[in-house]
Amino acid sequence: MANDYITRAKNFIEQIYPLILADKNQGKYDYLEELMEGVELFNYQYHRKVIFNHGLTRVAFITSDYVVKFDYDDNQADIWGGCEDELEVYEQAEKDGFGYLFAKTTPYEYGQIRFFIMPRVKGIEKHYNDAWDFMTEEEKNWCDWHGIYDLHNQNYGWVKGKICIFDYAAHD
């Protein structure tokens, strides 16, 4: 399908790629600030509403129907888990029959960077204390066994009427 969210995300990556090539050696916080300012300029130039977000290891560009992530701090990704970890978790979950719990991760290499595309997960209307509140014991055990502990209410939401986890890098 030519107009699916993955195709749109790939087109977005090609548009925003020059912004991402900013000098990462200038320091972590300067780089993140430059990315944030670049996204504001991108939104203005292209009349878009892309949201920029980041954590300890990853950057996320959030649109109305997809999210594009990449690791900006490989050192922290080794400690806290990065996009590759999410891909591995998703692939293992699919093999073990738990793929439905997670937003699908699709890798895409463009230029010098490996990006990871996910469907946009909508916010939870009724906030549980954490994702453990909606899981079965078997699902909880699977997540625990695979090092998925950071399941607070900002890391899961709705996709097509089903609750799913979208931030699931494994921790040792």
C-alpha pair distances (Å), 121 with each of 17, 44, 65, 72, 155: 23, 24, 8, 22, 9
What pLDDT digit, counting tens, does each position of 60-85 carry? 999 999 999 998 877 666 666 688 88
Q: What is the pTM of this model?
A: 0.85
Instruction: Give residue 115's pLDDT.
Output: 94
Instruction: Give residue 100's pLDDT.
Output: 92
In the predicted structure, residue 110 carries a pLDDT above the cut 90: yes
DSSP conformation letters of 84-138: HHHHHHHHHHHHHT-GGGB---EEEEETTEEEEEEEPPBPPSS--SBGGGGS-HH
What pLDDT digit, counting tens, does each position of 23-45 carry? 666 667 788 888 898 899 999 99
Structure tokens at 129: 């204390």
Average pLDDT, integer, range 47-56: 90
Distance CA 2, CA 97 (A): 28
Distance CA 145, CA 60 (A): 26
Instruction: Give residue 72's pLDDT.
Output: 82
